[in-house]
């Protein structure tokens, strides 16, 4: 379990990754940002998580055991591509199942309070307006702290998005404590001299 010191507080971080391609553009973005940090990654493709079911017939799948593992971490980093202006299907199913934590496993749902959530999203064509709203509302409802997001353009056609990529990567690294501001400023100055 990776422990970081952010603003004087020791915290643990985990990546919850969900994409139709486990090693596609989004994984490259996540690896670029977090590669040297040694943060554990859970790929939702490796878990059998059924959609939410009002009858709760899906209790033998991997959702509750996964949540039990994830609750050991302070900060959850969601790695998702932007599909049709929203999170991936894997993440949508994962977050829909939070209803189980409000209905039948309230003991686990209560443990979400105080957890932190950051989103790393890759997009390919148009900037995803309103994308963060869902995550902000999930966090507000569950008493989690939303740390924000970084949107990294994985396409090649739009120069203005490509120019923003480094700023988005830097924002994620700062927000997650992978680099601190003084190290970041020193590193940036060195890179600009090279």
Residue 121 to residue 131: CA distance in whole angstroms? 9
- Domain formed by 3-193, architecture: 3-Layer(aba) Sandwich (3.40)
Question: What is the average pLDDT across 173-194?
Answer: 63
pLDDT band of residue 194 (cuts 50, 70, 90) is: very low
Q: What is the model's pLDDT at position 11?
A: 62
Domain definitions of the chain by residue range:
3-193
pLDDT per position as a tens digit, 108-143: 999 999 999 999 999 998 888 999 999 999 999 999
Whether 81 and 26 have beta carbons less than 8 Å apart is answered as: yes
């Amino acid at each position: 379990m990776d422990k970081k010191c952010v603003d004087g507080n020791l915290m643990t971080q985990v990546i919850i990754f969900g994409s139709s391609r486990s090693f596609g553009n989004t994984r490259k973005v996540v690896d670029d940002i977090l590669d040297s940090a040694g943060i554990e990654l859970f790929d939702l493709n490796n878990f059998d998580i059924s959609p939410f079911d009002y009858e709760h017939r899906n209790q033998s799948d991997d959702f509750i055991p996964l949540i039990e593992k994830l609750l050991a971490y302070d900060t959850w980093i969601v790695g998702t591509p932007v599909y049709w202006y929203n999170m991936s299907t894997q993440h949508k199913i994962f977050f829909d199942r939070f209803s189980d934590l409000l209905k039948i496993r309230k003991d686990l749902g209560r443990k979400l309070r105080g957890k932190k959530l950051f989103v790393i999203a890759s997009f390919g064509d148009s900037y995803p307006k309103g994308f963060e709203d869902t995550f902000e509302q999930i966090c507000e409802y569950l008493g989690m702290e939303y740390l924000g997001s970084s949107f990294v353009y994985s396409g090649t056609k739009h120069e203005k998005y490509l120019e923003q990529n480094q700023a988005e990567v830097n924002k994620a690294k700062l927000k997650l404590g992978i680099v601190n501001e003084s190290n970041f400023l020193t590193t940036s100055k060195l890179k600009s001299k090279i």
